[in-house]
Structure formats: structure tokens, C-alpha cells
Amino acid sequence: MGIEPANPEKAPFPVVIFFNGYNCDAQQYQWLAVKLAERGLVVVLFNWIAKNLPGVISLTPGVDFEKLKPTIYPAAPTALALPALLTKLEQLQNQGVLAGMLDLQRIILGGHSVGGLVSLTNADPRFFPGVAASFSYGASSRGLSTIGYEPGTILPLPDSLPLLLMGGTRDGFMLTSSELYGISPGDATIPVSYTYIPRSNRWGTK
């Protein structure tokens, strides 16, 4: 039941806030959190159950689809949970085992699937000055046709901070979710590569 103290010699610690994919609980990313913690970062994982999609109650990373609509994006943040998480980090900075040891000017946003989209679209110092970078796996900036985007639209991402995009050739969701975006199925790596190098705001064909 004891609490192991943090090593003050390694402080201040950069912070990673990780956003899960839909219906992916935080425990699935524990291995990643441990690996990052071993390298001197504090990692925040969370579970949030909400009706984030119409008629669907699920584990969600807290993406604000209203703010993702063409009439608003990218003028406002799209992360519903992030303000509360930042407030909690401020509390931990003031009290507890990590008091005074967090580097809240070096916060890294990370995420998987739609959580990756949350991390990428909110790595913007206009909204969250303490955020320093972002990374994602299995995510792209495709615009959902269900919220008003034309098929093949690639949303612009903030470009003032380092962004790391990762994807896999066997990403089942990327291969089977094309109907959400009004496009034909294709290579699972295409959404990631088009997000990284948006040569056009339309999907190409192979």
C-alpha cells in the first residue's frame, strides 16, 4: 500500500496525455504508458463513457464532432476531455507525489484511431499553450461525410508543433471505415499518407 516517491533529480517530467480509440479501454495502452514512463515521462490514460456518437453509448476519447464540422473547424478545440485533464494535472502539480515535478509547458498529446485525431487537431498553442507536440497511430484527418464534409476531404492540421503520424498496412478500421468518409475502400496506409502529405484535398485511386 506504500507510495514510491518520484526521483526529483529527473524532474521536471514531460507529460503525455493519451486518447484512446472508440471502445478501447485505457488498460489496452498500459504497455505504452509503462514504456514511456521508463523513459522519464508522466503518462495520463483515462476512460470516459458517453454518448459521443448519436444513439451510441461507448468508451470515447471525447471528440467534439460539433467543433469538427466544416462551419467551425479549425477555429475551436475539438477535445471535450482535455480541459478537465489539464485541470487535474495542475492539481497534481500542487499536491501529491508529483507536486512541483511536472513540466506543464511540455505536454505531448497522443492517441489511437479517433483518439489520434483528437491529439492531432488539438496540438495548437492557440487553444492549449502548454502542448508541445503530438503523435498518433491509426489516425487520419479525413473529414466525415456524416457531419457535412464532401467525400475525400482532408482536414488541415495545426502546423506550428511537431506531429508524428504512424499507421499499419493491416489496420482493419482504416480498410473497413471508408463508408464513413464517402470513399471507396483502399490501402490502409493511404489515409495516413494523405494526412501527412496533403497533395490534394481529394482521395486518389490506386
CATH number reported for the structural domain that contains residue 140 in this entry: 3.40.50
Within 8 A by CB and 6+ apart from 173, the residues are 21, 113, 138
pLDDT at 183: 56
Q: Specify if 206 maps to a domain.
A: no
- Looking at the structure of the chain, the number of domains it has is 1
pLDDT at 145: 85
**Residues of the chain with confidence (pLDDT) below 50:** 199-206
pLDDT tens-digit readout, 140-177: 898 888 899 998 888 999 999 999 999 887 777 766 66
pLDDT at 206: 34
Q: Specify if 60 maps to a domain.
A: yes
| Amino acid symbol at 49 | I
Question: What's the DSSP call for residue 72?
Answer: T
Neighbouring C-alpha atoms within 13 Å toward the C-beta of 114: 22
Give the Cα separation of 160 and 137 in Å (integer): 20
Q: Specify if 4 maps to a domain.
A: no
pLDDT at 201: 46
Kindly report the pTM of this predicted structure. Answer: 0.88
Q: Specify if 102 maps to a domain.
A: yes
